[in-house]
Amino acid sequence: MTEQPPPPPAPGAPDAAAPPVCPRHPDRVSYVRCQRCGRPACPECQRPAAVGVQCVDCVREAARTAPRTTTAVGGRVRRGRPVVTWTLIGICVASFVLQLATRGAWTEQWAFSAAIGAAEPWRFLTTAFLHATNVTHILFNMWALWVTGQFLEPVLGRARFLALCALSAVGGSVGYLLLAGTPADDGWYQGVVGASGMVFGLFGAMVPVLRRLGADAAQAVGLIAVNAVIGFVLPGIAWQAHLGGLVVGLVLGWGFARAPRGRQRLVGWVLPLGMAVLLVALAVGKYTSTGWLAAVGG
């Protein structure tokens, strides 16, 4: 008998003699295959696995279908650095550089005062990213933000941590507004800057969160007490903003920490929304009671 040559491959069928190529990058040859789907994966598409490597598509599919893992207070467990904390620090540092470069023009554009808050309400938040030209001011606030952020952000989750920071910053401005007196007082026109309201909110949130986790909150309470005393002793410190941020942080932290396990996600949305509405109502009420809202509108 004589041997017959193998039949030619069908049109469109892969050539067995051709080197394997990455499905996502057909111009790249790869002899490394995904341990999950068996397809070739080039170095750019390889992801380390417990055994061998997996392709990026399989890793994404596994992450999408994996059950949601949460902390004791409902924050989504994530790996890596505290992204929100680093971002807030970066914004503050960039803003500080602009303050110095513009010789105060950047500060005047975004700083908060009770007199200007009614006409430009975004300043309730933007003032938290400004600091006095004294380097000690921003160094302390960024250190405090880093220390509290690297603990709270992984525990609360990025979304709730960001809401806590933003509302504590706004709460600091609202606290100053409520305690700044009336348009007849000098404090009504005094500009205030700094992330201290946000920082005090994080200090306040740490207390109920630490207790929920079964940890000792004595150091957090002591830190709040020391900084509160400093705010009253040293001149030029807006203790009203510290108090406003602290109250907001305590309320949000307590709500996040004590939410029932099955309703933590719901509380994570409803509580910040309710706090935002309350802060707006307090600010509008203050402006209305002093007649400033009508004066600005007129």
Whether 128 and 269 map to the same domain: the answer is yes
Asked if residue 289 lies in contact with residue 282, where contact means CB atoms within 8 angstroms, the answer is: no
What is the structure's pLDDT at 15?
53
- pLDDT higher than threshold 80 for residue 78: no
Positive or negative, the CA dihedral 109, 115, 121, 126 is: positive
Q: What is the pLDDT of residues 235-249, one digit of tens each?
A: 788 999 999 999 999
Residue 106 tokens, joined: 């950047």
Instruction: Look at residue 252 and tell me if it is in a domain.
Output: yes
Confidence of residue 14 (pLDDT cuts 50, 70, 90): low
- Residues 191, 132: Cα–Cα separation, whole Å: 11
Does any domain span residue 129?
Answer: yes
- State yes or no: pLDDT of 13 exceeds 60: no
Q: Residue written as tokens 């650095």?
A: 81
Contacts of 57 (CB under 8 A, 6+ apart): 24, 37, 45
pLDDT at site 75: 73
Residue 158 sits in a domain whose CATH number is 1.20.1540.10
- 44 with 101, same domain: the answer is no
Residue 229: per-residue pLDDT = 85
User: Who's near 269: CB < 8 A, 6+ residues apart?
Assistant: none
Q: Is residue 229 part of a domain?
A: yes
* pLDDT attached to residue 166: 98
Measure the CA dihedral 69/75/81/86, to 10°.
160
In this structure, the answer to whether residues 227 and 290 fall within a common structural domain is yes
Q: Using the predicted structure, report yes or no on whether residue 190 has a pLDDT greater than 60.
A: yes
Give the pLDDT confidence score for residue 235 in this predicted structure.
Answer: 76
Q: What is the pTM of this model?
A: 0.78
Q: Are 151 and 203 in a shared domain?
A: yes
For residue 5, is it within any domain? no
Same-domain check for residues 31 and 96: no
Q: Number of structural domains, the chain?
A: 2
The arithmetic mean of pLDDT across residues 46-51, rounded, is: 82
User: Is residue 61 one of the residues assigned to a domain?
Assistant: no
Quote the domain boundaries for residue 35.
Answer: 20-56
Whole-number average pLDDT of the chain: 89
pLDDT at 294: 84
Task: Give the per-residue pLDDT at 125.
Answer: 98
pLDDT the model gives residue 149 = 96
Let me know whether 87 and 50 are in one domain.
Answer: no
